[in-house]
Amino acid sequence: MMEKTYQPADIETRMSSLWEEAGAFKAGRPERRDATPFTIVIPPPNVTGSLHMGHALNNTLQDILCRFERMRGRDVLWQPGTDHAGIATQMVVERQLMERQQPGRRAMGRDKFLERVWQWKAESGGTITNQLKRLGASCDWSRERFTMDEGLSRAVIKVFVALHREGLIYKDKRLVNWDPALLTAISDLEVLQVEVKGSLWYLRYPLEGKAFNPDDPSTFIVVATTRPETMLGDTAVAVHPDDERYEDLVGKHVILPLVGRKIPIVADEYSDPDKGSGAVKITPAHDFNDFEVGRRHGLPEINVLDPEARLTLSGNEDYLRGLPEGALMFAEEVHGKERFAARKLIVSRLEEAGFLERIEPNTHMVPHGDRSGVVIEPYLTDQWYVDAKTLAQPAIAAVRGGATSFVPKNWEKTYFDWMENIQPWCISRQLWWGHQIPAWYGPDGKVFVAETEDEAVGNALGYYVEQEVIAPEQGRAMAQDPAKRAGFIRRDEDVLDTWFSSALWPFSTLGWPDDTKDVERYYPTDVLVTGFDIIFFWVARMMMMGLHFMKDVPFPTVYIHALVRDARGAKMSKSKGNVIDPLNLIDEYGADALRFTLAAMAAQGRDIKLDPQRVAGYRNFATKLWNACRFAEMNACALPAGFDPSQARATLNRWIAHETARARRDITASIESWRFNDAAGAAYRFVWNVYCDWYLELAKPVLTGEEGAAKAETRAMVAWARDEILKLLHPFMPFITEELWAVTAERPGLLTLADWPQQAAMVPEQMALAAGFAEADALIAPSMIAANASADFSDPAAEAEIGWVVDLVTAIRSVRAEMSIPPATLTPLVLAGASAETRARAERWNEVVRRLARLAEISFAERPPEGAVQLLVRGEVAALPLKGVIDFAAERARLDKELSRAEADIKRVDAKLGNEKFVANAPEEIVEEEKEKREAAVARKAKIVEALERLTSAA
């Protein structure tokens, strides 16, 4: 016996245990050994993370696909795992040490610190995994991987060594995003651009050979900068080659203020003639654009900051040599000062010497570390790089050639824009937690890259013996006795960017390179579901690595989902206080309600505006399903063995079979084409409207009537349609459907492993029965039976019959609502000029239509009576005589007033949206809110106009 009320918390806990005990999600199940594989790799969440709304959307969509394909008989592998998240994890453990007043990382030493990180991972690293299980993620949890697993680490080392041997990994001195608090390079994804109200300083750079006079513009060039503290590293001033103001100065020099060093004036298109003075200072070691200008013109790269972003000229002896005494004193004065303190000092000295022309307020974007919160520095340093440009070419060709497609298609442009302008990929990080770079340095700094230290030692000894740096005998002794080679080579202390190991995820998780059995079966995967923000950081790099090492794309389809925003359309952030925690929604409404909400709103290319009330609404949908199943149970609806819906005789039952087949087609086609919202919408309409509101309502008189063949058939059909609904809803709402599958009948297996509803074609015997019944029923033409014999079940005659009832009642209810007719007021209905078919239907369904539409009677006439509101139902006129029921003049006045209000709303919003200043300056969510207001007002206006037209026809 079913429980009276739906309690998601109890159900979800039990169903999770049931699936786990049955090993329901394991890939390679014996009965599916020969089935076609279906593979998805989970975008590995950070091991430090907890479930956020982006995870909830991403994993819900993946789970829908996996459950759908599992029910279609595929051998599904949804590969789970987590990312070691270098910086994030190291920060978590360091913070923990500080809070416990224990020795810090450096005091502890590398080995001890890494032991502590592994300990933390064992104790707390499974949080996100358990939360994904709460969401219902049907991953093969027995295969869970971690990017620092021994097997994955071997894959990382092998790839690094192979790429280095091919010349595709190398060491270079280039600019990186440097975090002066964490003392490491970071990726672009870890940089937040923050709008800052700052200043723009206009500086006078004296021309060589002219006596500087701040009142004589012919003696200097003015450059504008937001970072005057970096001027000590200037190595040129750039002007646009077409800027006539400076054409005579190109090739000449200026004298760097306060320093006295001569630097050239170069012509470069980077300089914008319409911005500032049209001249810009070039600091190659402290600006990404300046770095490229410097490389084009062969300029020196002078680093004037230390790793902690303090001013320093250490290591720049050539820079200091030959400078006047005053400049040397100034260099000594700023040395060691924190960058922003140095800025104030430098600006002060520039002003004193007449080099500061003016200061303007300037609001601009400044990069900050997403974890440290400090301003990020473009910093010149030695790092390891991947030749991404070479690896990108096959990855570009694969998408251009259609081997991999993006859904929606427009994201391919983003992919191409990034890939065709790709820069060398900095893969080294100055951390301890991560894959330590497999490179060792000899006494003279020569690099030896190898998979193991023993291999590196062997290579180094061979090299130095060959170079006669050490004697052969000494080399042999060192090779045989580790103690004799202690300190001979040292390993690179840096670790690899976490995106490097993540780039191998589609094949490293399958056992490559140690065991290729699963690689051969499950690679390439079928689809990748991910967010647009990591197309470059992850998707593109998996494409590069997959093609290079596996000689095939890692996935033929990349589905890019949108953002989940708050109810007003604002991006969620802790600072705004508008973050919606999915776990709180699961606690309140259940995982099924949250999942269905996300799926129903996941329209391609459109961000989701998540209002918790939508989740509450789909919680009601789950309750509606629960109550429908209880109704079936209370009416003894059960599915007899061997029941075939295509043999149903009653028109109502054939109609629900027809509608079920249509729902199956719509849902299947929508999932196959990645239209998750359409699939959820089709399921919702079928369950709530077709099955619950209409079929069960129309079946009630039969179910409460006398026993007999009609009642038995209807009971069976109610149960059959219920079971099909549970299957169709399962990918979206797995917990409640699995529970209902278990409690509504005795079944041999789990719903999650049941067959997806299949196309139901009629065999010859069924055709004969149906044709015989068609003659007796007089509703179904034998030709229709024959036409649909080999197709999915369809019954146009049954659909026409019941569809007419549904459309008629719906139209009448709509008019009653528009005209505010009280429920207790029964109105007559006149079918004007009705065909014989419609007359027959009206007679058959007279009692039902009157009850559902609140009608006093149904009559027939050649034409509509005066004062009747006319409805067009399936091509024929149905009239509601409302004279005396409503005051037409008052109703018209009310509708005219509402129409004026709707038009005023539209006009008001149009004025706002037509104001370029408003659109440019208002927050994005406010603009979106206004657009939604307009859409609502336009829809409201259309309904009012339709109601007015009805009144006009009745007058």
User: Could you report the per-residue pLDDT of 460-503, keeping only the tens digit for each?
Assistant: 999 999 998 899 999 888 888 888 888 889 999 999 999 999 99
Starting at the earlier edge strand, list the strands of the sheet with 425-426.
Answer: 184-186, 169-179, 377-386, 425-426
- Give dist(CA 715, CA 726) in Å, integer: 17
Q: Is residue 51 scored above 70 in pLDDT?
A: yes
User: What pLDDT was estimated at residue 414?
Assistant: 95
Q: Which are the contacts of 256, defined by CB distance < 8 A and separation ≥ 6?
A: 205, 231, 232, 234, 262, 263
> Higher model confidence: residue 386 or residue 815?
386
- Cβ distance 175 to 183 under 8 Å? no
Q: Is residue 760 scored above 70 in pLDDT?
A: no
Residue 233 — φ and ψ, nearest 5°? Answer: -100, 10
What pLDDT digit, counting tens, does each position of 761-809 carry? 444 444 444 444 444 444 444 444 444 444 578 999 999 999 999 999 9
What pLDDT digit, counting tens, does each position of 693-721 carry? 999 999 999 999 999 999 999 999 999 99
Average pLDDT, the chain: 91
- Cβ distance 229 to 343 under 8 Å? yes
- Give dist(CA 522, CA 501) in Å, integer: 19
Q: Tokens for 479, please give them.
A: 């090779």
DSSP secondary structure string for all residues of 16-27? HHHHHHHTTT-T
Q: Is residue 665 scored above 60 in pLDDT?
A: yes
User: What pLDDT was estimated at residue 130?
Assistant: 94
Q: End-to-end CA distance of the chain, in Å?
A: 56
What pLDDT digit, counting tens, does each position of 136-174 carry? 999 999 999 999 999 999 999 999 999 999 999 999 999
- Cβ distance 752 to 71 under 8 Å? yes
- Give dist(CA 530, CA 538) in Å, integer: 9
Query: In a 3-state reduction of DSSP, which class is residue 720?
Result: helix
- Give dist(CA 336, CA 313) in Å, integer: 9
**Residue 829, by phi and psi: left (phi above 0), alpha (psi -120 to 50) or beta?**
beta
- Give dist(CA 589, CA 215) in Å, integer: 73
- Cβ distance 453 to 174 under 8 Å? no
Distances in Å between the Cα of 393 and the Cα atoms of 125, 533, 548, 702 are 37, 21, 11, 68
In 3D space, the residue among 255, 249, 257 whose CA is nearest the CA of residue 278 turns out to be: 249
Q: Is residue 219 scored above 60 in pLDDT?
A: yes
The residues facing 383 across adjacent strands are 172
User: What pLDDT was estimated at residue 160?
Assistant: 98
Average pLDDT on 396-421 reads 96
Residue 4 — φ and ψ, nearest 5°? Answer: -70, -40
User: What pLDDT was estimated at residue 789?
Assistant: 42
DSSP for residue 571: B
User: What pLDDT was estimated at residue 882?
Assistant: 85
User: What pLDDT was estimated at residue 792?
Assistant: 76
- Give dist(CA 929, CA 258) in Å, integer: 54
What pLDDT digit, counting tens, does each position of 846-900 carry? 999 999 999 999 999 998 888 788 888 998 989 899 877 776 777 677 778 888 8
User: What pLDDT was estimated at residue 542?
Assistant: 98
**Counting beta carbons within 10 angstroms of the beta carbon of residue 34, is it exposed (0 to 12), middle (13 to 18) or buried (19 or more)?**
exposed
- Give dist(CA 933, CA 902) in Å, integer: 10
Query: What's the one-letter identity of residue 307?
Result: P
In 306-451, which residue ranges form alpha helices assigned H by DSSP?
A: 317-320, 325-334, 339-352, 388-400, 411-420
Of 203-217, 330-344, 560-574, 766-780, highest mean pLDDT: 203-217
What pLDDT digit, counting tens, does each position of 301-326 carry? 999 999 999 998 766 666 666 667 66
What pLDDT digit, counting tens, does each position of 587-617 carry? 999 999 999 999 999 999 889 999 999 999 9
The residues facing 365 across adjacent strands are 195
Query: What's the one-letter identity of residue 75?
Result: D
**Which pLDDT band, with edges at 50, 70 and 90, does 954 fall under?**
low
Q: Tokens for 776, please give them.
A: 């007796």
Q: What ranges make up the beta strands (E) of 446-494? A: 447-449, 490-491
What pLDDT digit, counting tens, does each position of 523-580 carry? 999 999 999 989 999 999 999 999 999 999 999 999 999 999 998 888 888 878 899 9
DSSP secondary structure string for all residues of 677-688? HHHHHHHHIIII
Please give the helix or strand (H or E) that residue 380 lies within, else none: strand 377-386
- Cβ distance 622 to 736 under 8 Å? yes
Starting at the earlier edge strand, list the strands of the sheet with 262-267.
Answer: 253-255, 262-267, 236-239, 279-282
User: What pLDDT was estimated at residue 752?
Assistant: 97
